[in-house]
Structure 1
Amino acid sequence: MAVIRLTKEFSFEAAHALEGYDGPCREIHGHSYRFFVTVKGTPVTDPADPKCGMVMDFGVLKRIVNDEIVSRFDHALVLKASEAGEELYKVLSARFGNIIRVDYQPTCENMLTDFAARIAARLPEGVRLHALRLHETATSFAEWFADDNA
């Protein structure tokens, strides 16, 4: 049976700041992220199964990504949790509610690694995460491939 790859696109708005960075991205700034999730697997072959011919239902993939990524990161400020940033977090969290603190510098590359772990853990049996692509801008993106991270 053929192995098939499925890709679904998502979008969300988020802000971040790169702590200690030596360029303009050290400032709080936002992006209109475009996020592509590709999974792979073998389509169901049982003709009695209503999902015959599907690797997985696109609706299930949408639910997983919305639960794990979009609903959490959309309109959020993502900051590295650190001792140096603790005072900033206290000030901002007193005024704003959707601040996500992560244990990594919130670069596009590190976010992909985080997103891959979150999504892979929720995929149905027989379906594997193949690739992720995260656009920060129309012309700048990072990619994650399972084969590179095995």
Structure 2
Amino acid sequence: MVYLTRLEHFNAAHKLFNPAWSREKNEAVFGVCANENWHGHNYELFVTIKGHPDPDTGFLYDVKKLSVIIKEHVIDKLDHKNLNMDVDFMAGQLCSTENLAIGIWKQLEPHLPEQVKLHCIKLYETSRIYVEYFGE
């Protein structure tokens, strides 16, 4: 089994706010991330696929094609957007990095060719905070 990772980047704004809670509780739980005027991140997205290399090319999958799939189904929907308001696949849920990683997985998985499988979404919110999701 070979694992191949493609790194992409996007910028997006969000706020962490549970509408079922009071403003005070949101601020106590989410701190400055509950700011009513939003805040943004420069996200780094690592998409890892797995499979066996093609005997004719030696490639697991064409990385340019992988980049196009990621751009079309994820980056174009997220880059310079408000995650809470502009992103259809985040509607109705808290826009945490954890939920965003799961949403990205769900966006990508159906669009990958059957010879490869999605292995991991690693999403850096900051240089010191990231989430890994393995589709479980």
Residue 35 of structure 1 is matched in structure 2 by: 45
Q: 1:100 aligns with which of 70, 81, 87?
A: 87
1: CA distance, partners of 2:63 / 2:51: 13
Name stretches of at least 5 consecutive residues in structure 1 with no aligned partner: 80-88, 90-98
Say whether residues 1:24 and 2:32 are aligned partners. Answer: yes
Correspondences of 1:66-85 after superposition (within 5 Å): 66-79=71-84
Q: CA–CA distance in 1 between the matches of 2:59 and 2:109?
A: 18
Q: How big is the shift at 1:100? A: 2.6
The corresponding residue for 1:122 is 111
What do the CA deviations read for 1:53-100 (whole angstroms, capped 9, x no partner)? 111100111011101111110000111xxxxxxxxx6xxxxxxxxx23
Shift of 1:126: 1.5
How many residue pairs match? The answer is: 122
Aligned partner (choices 4, 7, 11) of residue 6 of structure 1: 4
Identity %: 31
Bigger Rg, which one = 1
Which aligned segments of 4 or more residues in structure 1 are displaced greater than 6 angstroms? none
**Which segment drifts farther, 12-21 or 56-65?**
12-21
Indicate the residue corresponding to 1:137 in structure 2. 126
For 1:62, the equivalent position in structure 2 comes to 67
TM-score under structure 2 length normalisation = 0.85
Q: Give the aligned CA root-mean-square deviation in angstroms.
A: 1.3
Task: Report the Cα distance in structure 2 between the residues aligned to 1:68 and 1:107, rounded to whole angstroms.
Answer: 19
